[in-house]
Structure 1
Amino acid sequence: MDNQFQSSKPIYLQIADQIFYRLVRKELLPGDKLPSVREMAIQTKVNPNTIQRTYSEMERLGIVETRRGQGTFIAEKAEIVDELKDKLTREVLEGFVKQMKELGLTKEEMLEGIKTFTEGG
């Protein structure tokens, strides 16, 4: 996992986002077991309390479920990946559009820029 954290967002949410991206990219699948709190803390080089908070937040959102004595697992809900993909796409697009507007670009200029960029031009 990428260990470069931004100061503008709590670390536990950044770790959750990393897990969400892995889920959307199908690197993690519903039913997969996540590393233990201790293992994830070592991997990410953060305090175990931060990982516990990450897992608790993801459980609150219905992304993971904790099974006593077994660990934390990606929830086995078919719609979970689609919901996450929609949420992450919306967040990325909102940030992109906001930055482009700050640069003074019009909708047409943004769309033309996207077209040019995606066509390799």
Structure 2
Amino acid sequence: MFVLNPQSGTPIYRQLIAQITRLIAGGQLAVGTELPSVRELAELHTVNPMTISKAYALLEAEGLLERQRGKPMRVAARRRNQAPLTQRLQQLEREVSELVLAARQLEVGKKELLALVGEQWEKNNA
């Protein structure tokens, strides 16, 4: 469900927050969808449970997730299933800008970069 990269410069909890936020905005995580438990997700990705707990707590504080005693964390009911396309694109804008900058610094052309993005798109949709 989530892809966490310990070698990334981005802290694990931030990676998790970004992915959950995108999945909710994109409609892949619908209202009421139960998320894996802290322990389950920590064991699956071999990370400290406090890392997962921190991400869940921050998402709960933002109103994206809700917790009920004795039940798993789930997508908050007050959220719509899918944010408008413009809002979803805004969430990607910074990452795309950083990707383009990195490609230019590495002297990778637009055509090659778009081909790489296309390959990754297909790989992640398999």
Aligned mates of 1:94, 1:24 — CA distance in 2: 20
Counterpart in the other structure of 1:96: 99
Q: Which amino acid aligns with 1:8?
A: G
- State, as a whole percentage, how many aligned pairs show the same letter: 28
Q: TM-score, normalised by structure 1?
A: 0.68
Aligned mates of 1:68, 1:84 — CA distance in 2: 32
**In the alignment, which of 71, 78, 81 is matched to residue 80 of structure 2?**
78
Question: C-alpha root-mean-square deviation of aligned residues, in Å?
Answer: 3.4
Q: Which amino acid aligns with 1:16?
A: I
Equivalent runs, 1:106-121 vs 2, <5 Å = 110=110, 113=111, 117=115
Counterpart in the other structure of 1:31: 32
Aligned mates of 1:29, 1:72 — CA distance in 2: 13
Q: Which amino acid aligns with 1:78?
A: R
TM-superposed deviation, 1:66 = 1.5
TM-superposed deviation, 1:7 = 4.2
Unmatched segments (≥5 aa) in structure 1: none
Counterpart in the other structure of 2:64: 63
Counterpart in the other structure of 2:16: 15
CA contact 1:20–1:84 (8 Å) conserved in 2: no
CA contact 2:64–2:76 (8 Å) conserved in 1: yes
Unmatched segments (≥5 aa) in structure 2: 118-126
Aligned length: 115
Q: Which amino acid aligns with 2:98?
A: G
Q: TM-score, normalised by structure 2?
A: 0.66
CA contact 2:6–2:12 (8 Å) conserved in 1: yes
Larger Rg: 1
CA contact 2:67–2:74 (8 Å) conserved in 1: yes
TM-superposed deviation, 1:101 = 5.0
Q: Which amino acid aligns with 2:29?
A: L
Aligned mates of 2:83, 2:68 — CA distance in 1: 21
